[in-house]
């Protein structure tokens, strides 16, 4: 059994470009979460899915951010028109209901 995987691990992009990240959860985990972590801070919740339904989005998730989880399997997080303030580590986690979340290695985004 593999853990949560994320791709890419690192992304450097220029301001104004669009980026997309992918997360593959642990198989059979029906819940999938996205968090963002900036340097020296704890992760902050962005959004979560139960199966393919996106059930909650944080106010941190501006209109430039969109997430999908087609067919309740992998998930993508897209950021349009990136800004320097988007530079952070983007973490994905998965869990069955009412259990602990298991995190992936994260995607580190640098916007230049």
Partner 1 sequence: AQKVTQAQTEISVVEKEDVTLDCVYETRDTTYYLFWYKQPPSGELVFLIRRNSFDEQNEISGRYSWNFQKSTSSFNFTITASQVVDSAVYFCALSDPGAQKLVFGQGTRLTINP
**Is 61 in contact with 80 (CB distance < 8 Å)?**
no
Within 26-85, the residues that bind partner 1 by CB under 8 A are 31, 33, 35, 40-45, 48, 55-56
Strand partners, 34: 47, 92
Considering the complex, state which of residue 55 and residue 81 has its C-beta at the smaller distance from partner 1. 55
d(CA 30, CA 19): 25
Among 21, 82, 104, 111, which residue sits at the site for partner 1 (rule: CB under 8 A)?
104
Q: Is 101 in the site for partner 1 (CB under 8 A)?
A: yes
**Is 73 in contact with 64 (CB distance < 8 Å)?**
no
Contact footprint for partner 1 (CB under 8 A): 31, 33, 35, 40-45, 48, 55-56, 89, 91, 93, 95, 97-106
């Amino acid at each position: 059994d593999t853990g949560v995987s994320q791709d890419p691990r690192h992304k450097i992009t220029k301001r104004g470009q669009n980026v997309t990240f992918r997360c593959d959860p642990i198989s059979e985990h029906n819940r999938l979460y996205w968090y963002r972590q900036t340097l020296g801070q704890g992760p902050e919740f962005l959004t979560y899915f139960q199966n393919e339904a996106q059930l909650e989005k944080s106010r941190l998730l501006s209109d430039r951010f969109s997430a999908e989880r087609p067919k309740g399997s992998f998930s993508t997080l897209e950021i349009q028109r990136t800004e320097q303030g988007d530079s952070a580590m983007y973490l994905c986690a998965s869990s069955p209901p009412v259990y602990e979340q298991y995190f992936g290695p994260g995607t580190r985004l640098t916007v230049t």
